[in-house]
């Protein structure tokens, strides 16, 4: 490609119009209330997930594979909400609810990347539970620090690499000047609705990629829990079975929240996509679910409770001395 063509391509990008984000509700009188509600949810998300990351980092007893992957999940949830909520809060208090073309593309890419990353991270966390329960004597050997770092790096790189393809597919769709996005952020289904030509082939490609990154990981998780359930049923004591179940309950709850809403959102025929329903589902898995993840892992986990009390106790003593 010549320098002229590179310059021309860059110039065309600069000429792209901004997008108008129509937001959550079409009733302006509700915007102040919605601003307060989502600001509170966002702050709770930040506090909850940051608390988990800090506690897991400061408490040496929690430097294990399970909590290493949990800290990855908390960081991912922080990024997940930060990729959409600040822009939404700004638009609640603005009369011109716009986002630049580059900003929209970046938001779409980051949100898709984080979603793909979470799909794969939940599989790795399921594998960690499988090894812990089905092969407890080999757990420290199998789940070595080096393997954990390699799996985490693979998960993040795969998630961000895959979403590049989907983002390019959407960016190249002709819109014929349409720039009013019926959503509170630049999400894949809402962006596809702006197309002014037949995009059946592109919809099929996006559907296939979404199916691979949702159904295949979910299948692997279900297989892992099939082995886990079989191993738990072989435990003779009721207390032992309950302890094994408790180590998996939080992860199962997070898997149900994430995959249930993501499959509902992305694995449906384009003709049945409802803008209002899409907004509600996106609010749940993009804002509420990440906040619930931190609550699920802190409320049900005694180790995190003890570590949190120890960290707070050390901070309190350091301030009083």
Question: In the prediction, which pLDDT does 7 show?
Answer: 40
Lowest mean pLDDT among 122-136, 166-180, 299-313: 299-313
Closest by CA position to 89, among listed 180, 30, 23:
23
> Quick one: pLDDT at residue 183?
80
pLDDT band at residue 68 using 50, 70 and 90 as cut-offs: very high
Q: Which two tokens stand for residue 311?
A: 């960290």
Q: Are 224 and 128 in contact (CB under 8 A)?
A: no
- State whether residue 20 is helix, strand or coil: strand
Using 50, 70 and 90 to split pLDDT, how confident is the model at 1?
very low
User: What pLDDT is attached to residue 117?
Assistant: 93
pLDDT above 90 (res 291): no
**CA pair distance 235, 238, nearest whole angstrom:** 8
Highest mean pLDDT: which range of 272-276, 289-293, 310-314:
289-293
User: Residue ranges per domain, the chain?
Assistant: 22-320
**pLDDT (average), residues 104-110:** 90
- The confidence score (pLDDT) of residue 275 equals 67
Question: At 271, is the pLDDT very low, low, confident or very high (cuts 50, 70, 90)?
Answer: low
| Residue whose entry in the numeric block shows the structure tokens 């679910």 | 289
> Model confidence at 3, in pLDDT bands (50, 70, 90)?
very low
pLDDT value at position 110?
Answer: 92
CB 99 within 8 A of CB 19: yes
The CATH class of 22-320 is mainly alpha
- Cα distances (angstroms) measured from residue 162 to each of 112, 154, 202, 205, 213: 9, 12, 15, 13, 9
247-262: pLDDT as tens digits: 788 888 888 888 888 8
CB environment 269-285: b (16+ within 10 A), e (fewer): eeeeeeeeebbebbbbb
- Report how far apart, in Å, the C-alpha atoms of 88 and of each of 50, 74, 83, 97, 106 are: 21, 21, 10, 9, 15
99: part of which helix (H) or strand (E)? strand 98-99
pLDDT tens, residue by residue, 152-177:
999 999 989 888 877 887 888 887 77
Asked if residues 31 and 97 have their Cβ atoms less than 8 Å apart, the reply is no
Q: Which residue has the higher pLDDT, 96 or 317?
A: 96
Which of 11-25, 87-101, 207-221, 259-273 comes out lowest in average pLDDT?
11-25
Structure tokens at 162: 């895959």
pLDDT tens string 173-188: 887 777 888 788 888 8
pLDDT band for 6, please (50, 70, 90 cuts): very low
pLDDT reading at 15 higher than 50: no
∠ Cα 273 162 260 (to 5°): 45
d(CA 82, CA 286): 10
């Amino acid at each position: 490609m010549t320098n002229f063509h590179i310059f021309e391509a860059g110039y065309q990008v600069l000429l792209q119009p901004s997008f108008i984000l129509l937001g959550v509700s079409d009733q302006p009188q509700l915007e102040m209330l919605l601003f307060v509600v989502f600001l509170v949810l966002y702050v709770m998300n930040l506090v909850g997930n940051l608390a988990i990351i800090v506690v897991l980092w400061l408490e040496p007893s929690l430097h294990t594979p399970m909590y290493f992957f949990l800290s990855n999940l908390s960081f991912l949830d922080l990024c997940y909400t930060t990729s959409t909520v600040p822009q939404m809060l700004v638009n609640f208090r603005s009369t011109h609810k716009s986002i630049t073309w580059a900003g929209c593309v970046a938001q779409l890419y980051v949100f898709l990347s984080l979603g793909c990353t979470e799909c794969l991270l939940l599989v790795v966390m399921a594998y960690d539970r499988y090894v812990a329960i089905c092969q407890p004597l080999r757990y420290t050997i199998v789940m070595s620090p080096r393997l954990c770092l390699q799996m985490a790096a693979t998960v993040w790189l795969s998630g961000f690499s895959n979403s590049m393809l989907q983002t390019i597919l959407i960016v190249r769709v002709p819109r014929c000047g349409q720039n009013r996005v019926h959503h509170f952020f630049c999400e894949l289904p809402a962006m596809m609705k702006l197309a002014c030509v037949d995009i059946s082939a592109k919809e099929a490609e996006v559907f296939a990629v979404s199916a691979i990154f949702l159904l295949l990981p979910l299948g692997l998780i279900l297989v892992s829990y099939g082995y886990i359930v079989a191993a738990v049923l072989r435990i003779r004591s009721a207390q032992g079975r309950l302890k094994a179940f408790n180590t998996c309950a939080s992860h199962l709850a997070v898997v149900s929240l994430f995959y249930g809403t993501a499959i509902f959102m992305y694995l449906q025929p384009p003709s049945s996509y409802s803008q209002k329903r899409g907004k509600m589902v996106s609010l749940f898995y993009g804002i509420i679910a990440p906040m619930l993840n931190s609550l699920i892992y802190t409320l049900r986990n005694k180790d995190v409770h003890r570590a949190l009390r120890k960290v707070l106790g050390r901070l309190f003593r350091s301030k009083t001395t």
